[in-house]
Amino acid sequence: MSLIVAKFGGTSLASPDRIQMVAQRLVALKQAENEVVAVVSAMGKTTDELVSLARALNTDPPAREMDRLLSTGEQISMTLLAMALSARGYKAMSFTGRQAGIETDGIHEKAKIVKVNTKRIRKALSQGYIPVIAGFQGIDQNGDITTLGRGGSDTTAVAIAWGIEADACEIYSDVDGVYTADPRVAPRARKLAAINYDDMLELSSVGAGVLQMRAVEFARKYKVVIHARSAFSDAPGTYIKEATPKMEEAVITGIAHDTSEVKVTIRGVPDMTGVAAKVFSALANSMVNTDMIIQNISEDGITDISFTCPDADLKRAQETVIKVLPEIGAREYDIDEDIAKVSIVGTGMKSSPGVAAKMFKALGDNEINILAISTSPIRLSVVVDGAQTAAAVRCLHTAFDLDADSVFKETQLSAEELAAKMEKGR
C-alpha cells in the first residue's frame, strides 16, 4: 500500500465529464490498495474568466481581493471532485488551502509557503476519506487567503506530498511527460524516463512548461520525487528526482525553445561609462525583465545595445527606452518581435568540454545565424530568427544524439489538437 498525492490540472477538470474521469482514476488508485490525496486546479478557463471579471471593474484590483477571487476557482473544482467521488461510494472531503494547512507569507498573488500543517489531512486519511485539496492557495498569518502564482497547484501538491510523507507525488496534466524537445517542433523527440531537478529547473526557466518552476524548486529542496504524467493515459511519464550516475550519461538532457521574447535594439549609443547602467536601471525601475543583453563592438565611439525581454513587458520597455533615448544621447531604437531563444540543457555539460563549439557548428552548418548568446553552468542559449526556430531545435537534437528511432506520433495530430495540447493549466 502506497500513499499517493495526485494533482490534476485545469484541462483535466474542464467539464463534469472530465471530473468523472479524474474521479474514476482516483477510485482505481484506491482499488489498487493505495491511500490517495487529490490536489486540484481550477476548472478549464475559470481563472482567466475571473481575471477578466476583475479587470472589468478595476484595472488594478487590490491584490488581497484578487487572491480571494481567484481562490474560488479551485474551491469549486475541489467540491465537485469530492461530490463525484461520493457518488461512486467513496468517502471524500474537500479542503481549502487554509483547511489543508498551507500557511504562506503575506505576499498576495505570489505567496510563498512557510509551513505545511497536515494534521487535518492525516486525520481525514485515517478515517478513510479521500482528501481533495484546493491547489494554488494558502492562508497568511492574518487569516487572509493568498495565492501561490500561476502553476501554484503543482507547488501545493509537492508541499502536501512532503507534509504527509507520501510515497509518490503524481502530477497529471495534458502532457505525458518531459521530452528531449517539444515534439510538435522536433518529431524525433523522446520522452525522458527521468530527469534531475537541476536540468528540469533549467529547462523550465527557458520555456519547457511541463511543471511549474517553484514546484520543482520545492521538490528539490525537500527531496520529493515528482512523477509528471498524462491525465488521459496510464503510460508512465517522467520522474523528476535527484541526479543518479545513470541519469548523467547524456551530456545534453533536453532542448527548449521560447518564442515569447522580443528583442529591442537601441542604436547610436555613445560608448561611454555608465550609459548601459543608465539604460538597464531605468528598465529595472519600470519592472521590465531583461533577459539577454548584447553590446556591439563600438565604431567611432558609437555602439548599439540590444536586449531581450518577455512580450508582456514590451510596452513598458518601449516607454522606458523612449524616455531614456535623449538622456543617453542615442539616436533611435527598433523592435524585433520575431525571435526565438533556443537552449540546450544538461548537468552533463559541466564535465564535457566542447559543447558550445558543437552547438555553434551545428547551427552554422544549417545556416542559422546567432543573434545573442547566454549561458549558465548547465545551459547554453542562443537567440535566432523566429522563422528558424524549428530548424535550430531539430539540428541540435540530432547533433547531441537525442533523436529517437521513430517519429513522434503527435506530429500526426491536427492543428486544433496541437493547440489544445499547448494550453497550459496552472
Amino acid of residue 328: I
Distance CA 400, CA 305 (A): 32
Q: Which stretch binds a copy of itself (CB under 8 A): 70-78, 292-300, 326-334, 369-377?
A: 70-78
> Which residues between 71 and 130 bind a copy of itself (CB under 8 A)?
72, 75-76, 78-80, 82-84, 86-87, 92-94, 96, 99
Read off the DSSP letter of residue 146: E
Let me know the angle formed at the C-alpha of 410 by 405 and 416, rounded to the nearest 5 degrees.
160
What is the three-state SS of 338-399?
CEEEEEEECHHHHHCCCHHHHHHHHHHHCCCCCCEEEEECCEEEEEEEHHHHHHHHHHHHHH
Q: Which stretch binds a copy of itself (CB under 8 A): 15-23, 106-114, 295-303, 321-329?
A: 15-23
> Which residues between 132 and 161 bind a copy of itself (CB under 8 A)?
143
- Does residue 19 touch a copy of itself according to CB under 8 A? yes
Take residue 413 and report the three cell numbers written for it.
495530430
Q: Coil, helix or strand for 6?
A: strand
Nearest CB to a copy of itself, comparing residues 59 and 273: 59
Nearest CB to a copy of itself, comparing residues 86 and 289: 86
- Does residue 374 touch a copy of itself according to CB under 8 A? no
- Measured from the CB of residue 122, what is the shortest distance to a copy of itself in angstroms? 16
Contact between 106 and 145 (Cβ < 8 Å):
no
- Measured from the CB of residue 61, what is the shortest distance to a copy of itself in angstroms? 4
Place of cell 488521459: 232
Q: Which of 376, 424, 410 is nearest to 185 (CA)?
A: 410
Give the count of alpha carbons within 13 A of 10, CB side only. Answer: 23
- Does residue 16 touch a copy of itself according to CB under 8 A? yes
- Measured from the CB of residue 11, what is the shortest distance to a copy of itself in angstroms? 17
Contact residue for a copy of itself among 2, 24, 48, 62 (CB under 8 A): 62
Place of cell 494547512: 101
- Does residue 421 touch a copy of itself according to CB under 8 A? no
Summarize as ranges the residues that interact with a copy of itself (CB under 8 A): 16, 19-20, 23, 50, 53-54, 56-59, 61-62, 64-66, 68-69, 72, 75-76, 78-80, 82-84, 86-87, 92-94, 96, 99, 143
